[in-house]
Amino acid sequence: MKPSRTYKILVVDDHFVVRAGLRDILSHEPDFIVAGEAANGREAVAAHARLLPDVTLMDLRMPVCGGLEAIRLIRENSPAARILVLSSYEGDEDIHAALSAGAMGYILKHSSDDQITPAIRALLQGKRWIPLEVAGQLAARERGEILSEREREIVRLLVLGDANKQIGDTLGITELTVKSHMKNILAKLKVRDRTEAVTVALRRGIVHLPDE
């Protein structure tokens, strides 16, 4: 039986195999149509403006323009846009950033495929989709202390291997000030040294490696 109406889905991921897999999953739903695809955030913004999909499936890690920026731009142009993130990023900061940017749901790529269709249908009803594992990450974030923007800048430079003096020179602050910030960073992340701080920051998605 032909459905009474159909819903347009925009699939955004820089990997063709992932897009093909999503097309296959969605093809089993008679009222879903993959109206378009995009391989990066810039293409996603243009495709969304052209197609006005009912739901957009959005990856976060992409070249040219990442998913976070694409979500912000799409929501600026279409405040009612329904965006569901499908990402391998499972850190609490990544999840929080995506939802703050305007995503209505977040699914981890290692999750089972049977989450995708219910998630899309939830968004079509105006609901959010936050699986238990994602909710758990957000809850852990709320229990911890949040790094300031300056502290995040310092951690980004720590990831690059910069010493305190190099960090101070880059940020235009004294080495003593850097040490003071480092003390706060270690306390907030509940770690003992710089190496642990980098490990935790990368795991939580507070910062990413340069090639990401």
Q: Are residues 40 and 115 in the same domain?
A: yes
Q: At what angle do helices 92-101 and 132-143 cross, to 10 degrees?
A: 100
Domain assignment of residue 37, given as a range: 7-141
Q: 114 falls in which pLDDT band (50, 70, 90)?
A: confident
Q: Are residues 133 and 50 in the same domain?
A: yes
Report how far residue 66's alpha carbon sits from residue 47's, in angstroms, rounded to the nearest whole number.
15
pTM of the model: 0.83
Query: Does 212 fall in a domain?
Result: no
- Residue 33 above 80 pLDDT? yes
Summarize the confidence of residues 72-98 as an average pLDDT.
95
Q: Are residues 137 and 154 in the same domain?
A: no
Report how far residue 27's alpha carbon sits from residue 160's, in angstroms, rounded to the nearest whole number.
44
Q: Are residues 126 and 154 in the same domain?
A: no
Q: Are residues 153 and 131 in the same domain?
A: no
- Residue 1 above 70 pLDDT? no
Q: Are residues 132 and 158 in the same domain?
A: no
Q: Are residues 85 and 179 in the same domain?
A: no
Torsion of CA 178, 179, 183, 188, to 10 degrees: 20
Query: Does 45 fall in a domain?
Result: yes
Q: Are residues 25 and 76 in the same domain?
A: yes
Q: Are residues 179 and 156 in the same domain?
A: yes
- Residue 146 above 90 pLDDT? no
Q: How many domains does the structure of the chain reveal? A: 2
Q: Are residues 13 and 34 in the same domain?
A: yes
Q: Are residues 105 and 20 in the same domain?
A: yes
Query: Does 211 fall in a domain?
Result: no
